[in-house]
Amino acid sequence: GNDSVVTILAINSHQAVSTITGHGEGNVGGIFTGIIRLDFSPDGNLLATAGADGYAKVWEVATGAQRYAWRVDPRDSVFWTGDGEVPNGVESVKFSPNGRFLAASTDEADGDGGIIKIWELENGMEMTVVEDSPRRLLALAFSPDSKRVASVGSSGIIRVWDVTTGERVANLEGETTTINAVHFSADGSQLITGRRSTVIWDLESEEALVTLPQGLRPSALSLDGQYLATIGEQGIHIYTLNFEELLAIAQSRVSRNLTEAECKEYLHVDACPAN
């Protein structure tokens, strides 16, 4: 919020566990400098914060103590206050599923694209820097095996990077508007992206497999990766990502076998499965 304070509550008791302060004051010279994004570590013991003040920070949930603080982007942003240009803001922070890494991404600065940095949480050392990114990088996602990180942003370009080397391993094109949500599928073979619409991509072919109805944006994946929740003007929609369940639903709603064309369009397979 505008006061840049995070209060962590215990779900069962609704009691405050700890309170975190340590980013900008919320609003400096008309420019927001507070907290933009949060992410819990897989074990729930750490909380990462992305600050518009240019810092990514890691906190201990139980005590609220700060463990790490990194200035992500050495460049200043294009915003000017009475005290000079403000640091380039951090747009996203994300823990890896194995709990070993934290990734952060930034806004663009002076026409140059955003930056991705990845740190090792065991020692706080910077491990990887990715600078070959267009414009604002609004969201990040790690693959289930923690070996890749995907980035999306205001350019509409979707890219996937090797966590260790920083090399680009996939470049998904076709979107032209801002994308601010990204998720890997449970097996890491697909990527789900969106803002005003949701697209499911095949990472091997780098082609779009499914485009959900306009106005539905991806919100969350279930813990087992089998269901996708989307949000739209008509409410929350939940989609299955499990092929067997999708096939069972299709078979329950038609009284005949699907044609090859229908299997390609609705089940996204080249040949209809045997009954």
CATH number of domain containing 121: 2.130.10.10
Please check whether residue 227 lies inside any domain of the structure. no
How does DSSP assign 156-225, residue by residue?
--EEEEETTT--EEEEE----S---EEEE-TTSSEEEEESSSEEEEETTTTEEEEEPPTT-EEEEE-TTS
Report the range of poorest mean pLDDT among 52-56, 154-158, 259-263. 259-263
Name the strand (E) or helix (H) holding 253. Answer: helix 243-253
Mean per-residue pLDDT over the chain, rounded: 83
Among the candidates 135, 164, 179, a domain finishes at 179
**Is the domain of 150 the same as that of 74?**
yes
Task: Specify the pLDDT at position 133.
Answer: 66
150 and 252, same domain (yes or no): no
- 175/83 same-domain check: yes
Distance (Å, whole) CA 201 – CA 208: 4
Domain assignment present for residue 159? The answer is yes
Q: Based on the domain organization, do 163 and 258 belong to the same domain?
A: no
Highest mean pLDDT among 124-128, 246-250, 267-271: 124-128
Q: How many residues does the chain have?
A: 275
Amino acid identity of 96? S
Angle, CA 192 vertex, CA 191 and CA 197 arms, to 5°? 145
Tell me whether residue 92 is in a domain. yes
pTM of the model: 0.82
Burial readout 127-140 (b: 16 or more C-beta within 10 A, e: otherwise) = bbebeebbbbbbbb
Q: Tell me, what's the pLDDT at 2?
A: 55
Q: Is residue 228 part of a domain?
A: no
Which of 182, 178, 188 minimizes the C-alpha distance to 159?
A: 182
The total domain count for the chain is 2
Same domain flag for 175 and 246: no
Assigned domain for 111 exists:
yes
- Tell me, yes or no, whether 131 lies in a domain: yes
Domain that holds residue 69: 5-179
239-255 confidence digits (pLDDT tens): 887 767 666 766 677 76
Domain identity same for 13 and 147: yes
Is 109's pLDDT higher than 80?
no
Predicted pLDDT of residue 86 = 59
Residue 196 lies in a domain: no
Specify whether 64 is located in the same domain as 145. Answer: yes
Q: Which of 157, 179, 201 is the last residue of a domain?
A: 179
Q: Mind listing the pLDDT tens digit for each residue in 55-68? A: 999 999 999 999 99
Shared domain check, 129 and 16 = yes
Tell me if 178 sits within 8 A of 138, measured CB to CB: yes
Cα 115 off chain centre by: 15
Instruction: Tell me the three state secondary structure of residue 260.
Output: helix
Taking a C-beta distance cutoff of 8 angstroms, is the pair 129, 74 a contact? no
Cα separation, 10 vs 79, whole angstroms: 38
147 and 265 share one domain? no
Single residue among 138, 159, 179 that ends a domain in this structure: 179
Please check whether residues 143 and 275 belong to one and the same domain.
Answer: no
Angle made by CA atoms 196, 171, 118, in degrees to the nearest 5: 90
The answer as to whether 193 is a domain residue is: no
CB atoms within 10 A of CB 205: 10
Same domain for 65 and 168, yes or no, is: yes
Shared domain check, 247 and 126: no
- The pLDDT tens digits of the residues spanning 81-92 come to 445 555 678 999
